[in-house]
Amino acid sequence: MKTLYRIRFPEEEWKWRDDVWRILCRRFFQRYVKPTDRLLDVGCGYCNFLRHIRCGEKYGVDVDDESVNFTPPGARVIIRDAVNLDCFQGDYFDVVFASNFFEHLETRSKVLESLGSIHKVLKSGGRLLILQPNMRAMGGKYWDFFDHYLPLTDRSMREALELAGFWTDELRPRFLPATTKRQPFQSPLLAHLYLRMRILHPIIGKQMFIVARKRVLE
């Protein structure tokens, strides 16, 4: 998969992608993260989210050892299977972020295992922020990405969260486009305007956004 991602995200696009994530973090994701929060990015990849989000402590975990090369100052990235988070102590993080992660897992059991692991490391009431493609919105285009395994929708993801011990506080079935390689995200100004104009999200959006909150299992 390392070769696949090098093809999908060529080096000449890295700065532009980082600019997109800077806008996403400052104009949207930051509202869910406090300056004092302890945060974990599951499947952190090239660390674009970690680079631009502001919080007290930043951690990332990814199976690809190249992620270490992109670790921003003040953050720590651990290379390992991101499904198992036993390397972190329980009830530690205020926020866990997972972008385009769960659809890459091979089975539904793996999704539940991952959510269970996230549940353990989150504090009671801690937030899980999920951004990922929505099969219901993308249709057959969901399979245009070779590394997609599971056909997840906003409804199936919500059920999985409930099974794993989370409340769903916010769910946007259509939020971002399927890819940021096209407009409006190739222009910082248009990207900023898109985030503000929610009327466009049900038309252009193909990725869901979910805010889930850990509940204490009885």
Q: What is the CATH number of the domain that holds 121?
A: 3.40.50.150
| Whether residue 7 has pLDDT greater than 70 | no
What's the pLDDT at 87? 93
Give the whole-angstrom CA distance, residue 146 versus residue 136.
18
The count of domains in the chain is 1
What's the pLDDT at 178? 85
Residue 24's contacts (CB-CB under 8 Å, 6 or more residues apart) are 52, 191, 195
- Beta bridge pairs of residue 99: 131
Q: Where are the alpha helices (DSSP H) in 59-184?
A: 108-121, 135-138, 154-163
Region 52-61 average pLDDT: 98
| 3-state SS assignment for residue 184 | coil
- For residue 191, name the pLDDT band (cuts at 50, 70, 90): confident
Average pLDDT over all residues of the chain: 90
Region 170-177 average pLDDT: 96
pTM of the model: 0.91
Give the whole-angstrom CA distance, residue 120 versus residue 87.
11
- For residue 148, name the pLDDT band (cuts at 50, 70, 90): confident
Region 185-191 average pLDDT: 77
Are 81 and 58 in contact, with CB atoms under 8 Å apart?
Answer: no
Long-range contacts of 9-13 (CB under 8 A, 24+ apart): 9/46, 13/181
Phi-psi region of 74 (alpha: psi -120 to 50; beta: other; left: phi over 0): left
- Beta bridge pairs of residue 76: 59
In sign, the C-alpha dihedral spanning 29, 30, 34, 40 is positive
Expressed as residue numbers, the domain containing 150 is 2-214
